[in-house]
Structure 1
Amino acid sequence: MAQPTTSILCTDLGFDWPDGTTVLDGFHLAVGPGRTGLIGLNGAGKSTLLRLLAGELTPASGTVRVGGELGYLPQDLTLDTTQRVDEALGIRAAREALHAIESGDTDERHYAAVGDDWDVEERARATLDRLGLARLDLDRTTGELSGGEAVLLHLAALLLRRPDVLLLDEPTNNLDRHARSLLYEAVASWHGVMVIVSHDRELLQHVDQIADLRAGSVTWYGGNFADYERTVAAQQETAERLVRVAEADVQRQKRDLIEARTKLERSASYGKKRSESRNDPKIISGKLKRQAQETAGRVRGMHTERLTEAKERLTAAEEAVRDDAEIRIDLPRTAVPAGRTVLNLDHVRLPYGTRAHLELRGPERVALVGRNGSGKSTLLRAVAGEIGPLEGEISTPVPLRHLPQRLDLLDDGLTVVGNVKSYAPAADDNAIRARLARFQFRGGRADQLAGTLSGGERFRATLAALLLADPPPQLLMLDEPTNNLDLASVRQLTQALAAYRGALIVASHDLPFLRGLGITRWLELDGELRTIDPM
């Protein structure tokens, strides 16, 4: 009898947060072998779904079935820094038993601990080497690992287990370019069921299908992310054309209804005058009036029904157009003249050995790249005046703003309007609200407390506060801005930065994002800051 295909099956799944917020209701999902990229807007429930699949959360209703052994790499990974590397890999007991057997101890417990995994050490070292962690000693603790190395170590542990189903939640967050390339290779060579939640477009090029989670249901697209973009673009072009056709039909039906009413009113007036001129008996004139009213009612009803149907077609057409709202702003006050100096690093030495000598003039767009731990965030913090240099001088003769990796610039107790006003105290509320509308905070949304915002909303509010600040920033620095952003938010960020006219420094490992910014200079930090060829 054939074995069932390893798969994930969710049936009529429901989940609510303790505050009553519904995430999933009557949700269905079936995933078979292959690599699936799970995408969707922030707050759509992607990470929640993975936690339900992994058993970390319990559904309020419905069932979750996973065929085979499951491995799960969470987005917010915590690593016990007192653990040894072999313990983090899950092979410490097998190693100790193997060493005991090699030393002559024939206790059956050791053989049971090893099982069939006699090459566990060799496999572990090969896996670590494959993920760029060959330097790690299996007997050492994990305390010295960077955030990116911790992610790769956890992935190595999962690969060693060889699970049938592997769930990865934003696995490339905090990984530098080299580490990302290693993870891409691991994903590309995976056999089995894999579900990846990610905004990393390069990673999504390695999947076999895309699952788009929207409004509590999944739409499937065959192929990788580039195939998905082409399909969605074609669908949106068709949907927008149908909207235009439906809008024209609504206007036509409105005109037809007005013309029909006008004709009926003229006809009724003419009939009344004719009846009066002939001096028709009341019974006859009353009958003619009722007949005219019945005819008018039928005509009006027909045209009203046609208008209603046209409006319904327009609503259906509009619903087919994605509402991943765009940010459309104009920021003329951020403009910088071509020859103006915006930043000067004069033989600067920073903590951890970083050295930098640099001058930026005019509205340059600079990409700052480098391995994790190379000092990119430290350099940006020094330019922002948050830390001082050990040697040299830093000069920033223009207004600047710094968006750190952690979106902690907002006051959770203030509204969106209040937060923006704290950066531009002289601006009146109406002006702030008008400009916030361009960042998709319209009406009551602008009065939300910052502490209640979703991740994507919080990012837009923070970006609005920085770009609408007074004085407006003529040097803007962003540190890994696309971490934890959904694909729509990344597009919105790119749109906002297209309107920015000042000098820009962006530290990022997201090459597609950087390439979309019109970068004019690429800088790499590896002990020293140096100019490199475009990537």
Structure 2
Amino acid sequence: MSQTSAHITLTSLSFAWPDGTGVFDDFDLAVGPGRTGLIGLNGSGKSTLLRLVSGELTPSAGSVRTVGDVARLPQNLVLDTGLRVDEVLGIADTRAALHAIEAGDVGEEHFAAVGDDWDVEERARAALDQLGLGAVDLDRTIGQVSGGEGVLLKLAALLLARPGVLLLDEPTNNLDLHGRRRLYDAVDAWQGVLVVVSHDRELLERVDQIADLRDGGVAWYGGNFSAYQEALAVEQEAAERMVRVAEADVQRQKRELADAQVKLARRKRYGQKMYESKREPKIVMGARKRAAQVSAGKHRTMHTEKLSEARERLDEAVEAVRDDEEIRIELPRTTVHPGREVLRLRALELAHGAGALGDLEIRGPERIALVGRNGAGKTTLLRTLAGELEPVAGESETLVPSRFLPQRLDVLDDALSVADNVARYAPDATNNQVRARLARFLFKGARADQPAGTLSGGERFRASLAALLLAEPAPQLLMLDEPTNNLDLASVRKLTAALEAYEGALVVASHDVPFLESLGITRWLLLDGGLRTTSAEEVREALARG
């Protein structure tokens, strides 16, 4: 089937998690060929939607119909480190049969396994080369490649399968600039249905349309992310104008109701006075009184209904204005004196072949950006600094309280609730203190009792960060490994603001150079067979060159 005839149709779809948490209810969606950027707040159901389309999850009601084979790149890719590259690419059996034939074994089963795919190795190497993995041998194991290379290998496998529908969930996570540009090229060249969930602005600039998942429905915007932002700004300006109009109408209706009540009270007093003076026959005054009461009741009802309708219009107008809750990260205000030594490395040599780094000192509230290609050893270095890995040689010493938020966000116990996970890190904190802190991270009420294993990527980040920051003592050295990987764009902005206000020392490993630049970095360290001080401009050039 041609990629250009593929499409996705979801009709009256409903889905809830086993604990009863609803995600979709009577949801409809239709996506045809082209590049669609799927955006929305963390927890809105973006990843769940892709899993439903791919068939990994089954809706409780409604239908999912896809024309064309479906392939999905998951957000948190986990590959068996013992697998060979050709197994990840899905060509191991075909390749083995091909080699057997080349070696002289003409068994019928080998020809059946090969079919028409005689150029499988050439196509595989071409796919790897397209993604910058030309040097990766098909017989290597996954344990010998970096996390970013693993993502690109899985993408290469999907491209080799030539599906009609390609679903990418945060595909730039763990990719350096070189890898991201290879991914961008692959996205630009895609001919079928492509749905991509991402917080990467540059990737979203390459889509044909934006699908904004919000409040259980989808709003469509033609064009890329910049066009979406412009259209949304116009919408919000109009919505805010409607709120002002509706508020003025409510106030006017309140005044008219109050005026009507004053007039009715005057009429009542006048009628009572006429009745007491007996200027007219009793039967006439009684009839006039009853007519006045009926008229007053209708008048009061009319103004009350008008006020109610005005309030409903105001409620509708307010709902149209976006006031998305964002995480309120209140990092501990622990000042580090400029002259105080925070971290010391002496003749350090890292495990896993990351190499010798030599000496390094961090003093005071320095803000260090740790950058380098995939596989350079950034995560290995941070894990060594955090005490999770022993160095091959030398020493690493942190001289202040520190916290480390790993890239895989594996600080949580999936079987425990969010609140119980946080309580593990702060055993002396009361239940109310734990829940008050979680509320700042948008885990309010029953959300704090949600099992960690059911959280979305962004929710897991928030819960992990809350756990580390509630722990005592508060960190004067904060180490973050790719912290923006699973955050929506609103949360990235909030995280940036929070880290800007942090008064301790900061070490951040990230491939997101614009994010790093927004943090007020004081020193850029490039990890490339050693540690050397560099600049943002040199980092961009070095990572792009590969």
- Aligned twin of 2:543: none
Query: Per the alignment, in what secondary structure is the counterpart of residue 35 of structure 1?
Result: strand
Q: Which residue of 2 aligns with 1:448?
A: 449
CA shift digits 1:157-211 (9 cap, x unpaired): 2222222222222222233333222222211222222122223333222222222
User: Paired residue for 1:503?
Assistant: 505
Q: Distance in 1 between matches of 2:337 and 2:254?
A: 52
| Shift in CA distance, 158/326, structure 1 to aligned 2, threshold 3 Å | closer
Over 3 Å counting, the alpha-carbon distance change for 1:244 and 1:340 in structure 2 is farther
2:298 aligned partner: 298
**CA distance change for structure 1 residues 485 and 326 in 2, over 3 Å: closer, same or farther?**
closer
Please, what TM-score do these two structures have when normalized by structure 1?
Answer: 0.86
Structure 1 residues 418, 270: closer, same or farther in 2, change over 3 A? farther
CA offsets 1:238-262 (integer angstroms, 9 cap, x no match): 2233223323332332233233323
Alignment correspondent of 1:516: 518
Q: How does 1:334-483 map to 2 (within 5 A)?
A: 334-336=334-336, 340-351=340-351, 352-355=354-357, 357-387=359-389, 394=396, 396-409=398-411, 413=416, 416=419, 419=422, 423=426, 425=428, 437-442=439-444, 444=445, 448=449, 451=452, 454-455=455-456, 456-467=458-469, 471-483=473-485
- Equivalent pair of 2:332/2:469 in contact (CA under 8 Å): no
Change over 3 Å in CA distance of 1:279–1:246 after alignment to 2:
same
Q: What is the root-mean-square deviation in Å for CA atoms of aligned residues?
A: 3.5
Deviations 1:261-287 (A, max 9, x none): 233223322432344345555434433
- The residue number in structure 2 matching 1:321 is 321
Matched residue, 2:118: 118
User: Contact between 2:3 and 2:163, CA under 8 Å: does it hold in 1?
Assistant: no
Between the aligned partners of 1:216 and 1:414, the Cα distance in structure 2 is 24
Tell me how far apart the structure 1 counterparts of residues 19 and 447 of structure 2 sit (CA, whole Å). 22
Deviates further, 261-270 or 447-456: 447-456
| Contact map agreement 1:44 1:216 (CA 8 A) in 2 | yes
2:422 counterpart letter in structure 1: N
Aligned partners of 1:357 and 1:223: how far apart in 2? Answer: 50
Tell me the TM-score normalised to structure 2 length: 0.84
With over 3 angstroms needed to count, the CA separation of the structure-2 counterparts of 1:266 and 1:347, relative to structure 1, is: farther
Question: Equivalent residue for 2:55?
Answer: 55
Within the alignment, does 1:153 sit opposite 2:159 as a pair? no
Could you say which residue in structure 1 is the equivalent of 2:135? Answer: 135
1:6-17 equivalent positions in 2, closer than 5 A: 6-17=6-17
Conservation of the 8 A alpha-carbon contact between 2:246 and 2:313? yes
Equivalent residues in 2 for 1:206-355, closer than 5 Å: 206-277=206-277, 280-328=280-328, 333-336=333-336, 340-351=340-351, 352-355=354-357
Instruction: Provide closer, same or farther for how the CA distance between residues 186 and 47 of structure 1 changes in structure 2, counting only shifts above 3 A.
Output: same
Q: How far, CA to CA, are the matches of 1:103 and 1:413 in structure 2? A: 55
Quick one: distance in 2 between partners of 1:407 and 1:306? 53
Q: How far apart, CA to CA, are the structure 1 residues paired with 2:506 and 2:209?
A: 35
Structure 1 residue 106 displacement after superposition: 5.9
Cα distance, 1:11–1:72 mapped onto 2, change above 3 Å: same
Deviations 1:320-352 (A, max 9, x none): 123420345666833445555544445544434
- Tell me the residue number matched to 2:66: 66
Q: CA deviation at 1:312?
A: 0.9
Q: Is the 1:417–1:433 contact (alpha carbons within 8 Å) kept by the matching residues of 2?
A: no
Change (3 A) 1:290 1:14: same
SS of aligned partner of 1:13 = strand
Residues 4, 192 of structure 2: 8 Å contact kept = no
Q: How far apart, in 2, do the equivalents of 1:397 and 1:83 lie?
A: 40
Take 2:434 and 2:59, find their aligned partners in 1: how far apart are those partners? 42
Q: Summarize the Cα distance change of 1:64–1:429 in structure 2 as closer, same or farther, 3 Å threshold.
A: closer
Percent identity between matched residues is: 64
Deviation at 1:437, TM superposition (A): 4.6
* Cα separation, 2, equivalents of 1:490 and 1:420: 26
- Distance in 1, matches of 2:17 and 2:328, equals 34
Contact kept in structure 1, 2:327 and 2:491, CA below 8 Å: no
Letter in 1 for 2:529: G
Q: Which one-letter code corresponds to 1:513 in the other structure? A: F
C-alpha contact (below 8 Å) 1:424/1:471 kept by paired residues: no
Distance 1:256 1:337 in 2: 63
Partner Cα distance (2:201, 2:45) in 1: 19
1:13 & 1:389 partners in 2: Cα distance? Answer: 52
CA offset at residue 509 of structure 1?
2.0
List alignment gaps of at least 5 residues for structure 2: 541-546
CA shift for structure 1 position 80: 4.2
- Supply the distance in 2 between the matched residues of 1:58 and 1:436 (Cα, whole angstroms): 31
Shift of 1:445: 5.1
- The 2-side partners of 1:408 and 1:239 are apart by 41
Conserved in 2, the CA contact under 8 Å of 1:127 and 1:160?
yes
Q: CA shift at 1:129, angstroms?
A: 1.8
Contact residue 326 and residue 495 of structure 1 kept, 8 A: no
Whether the 8 Å CA contact 2:438–2:448 is kept in 1: the answer is: no
- The alignment partner of 2:201 has SS state of coil
| Contact 2:43–2:459 (CA under 8 A) maintained in structure 1 | no
Distance 1:488 1:178 in 2: 26
Instruction: Give the structure 1 partner of residue 144 of structure 2.
Output: 144
Partner SS, residue 206 of structure 1: coil
Corresponding residue of 1:29 = 29
1:176-215 to structure 2, matched below 5 A, reads 176-215=176-215
2:34–2:208 contact (8 Å) kept in structure 1: yes
Q: Is the 8 A contact 1:170 1:484 kept in 2?
A: yes
Partner Cα separation in structure 2 for residue 199 and residue 279 of structure 1: 81
Residues 1:532 and 2:534 are matched in the alignment: yes
Query: 1:316, CA displacement in angstroms?
Result: 0.9
TM superposition shift of 1:31: 1.5
Separation of aligned partners in 1, 2:140 and 2:437: 54
Task: Give CA-to-partner distance per residue, 1:435-487, whole Å, 9 cap, x none.
Answer: 65544355x35863664873344433443444455554333222222223333
Q: How many residues align?
A: 532
- Deviation string 1:358-397 (CA, Å, 9 cap, x unpaired) is 4444444332222233332333334344456565555545
Are residues 348 and 139 of structure 1, via their aligned partners in 2, closer, same or farther at CA, if it must alter by over 3 Å?
Answer: closer
Amino acid at match of 1:38: L
Are the equivalent residues in 1 in contact too, given 2:386–2:404 (CA < 8 A)? yes
Distance of 1:282 and 1:502 partners within structure 2: 87
SS in 2 for 1:334: coil
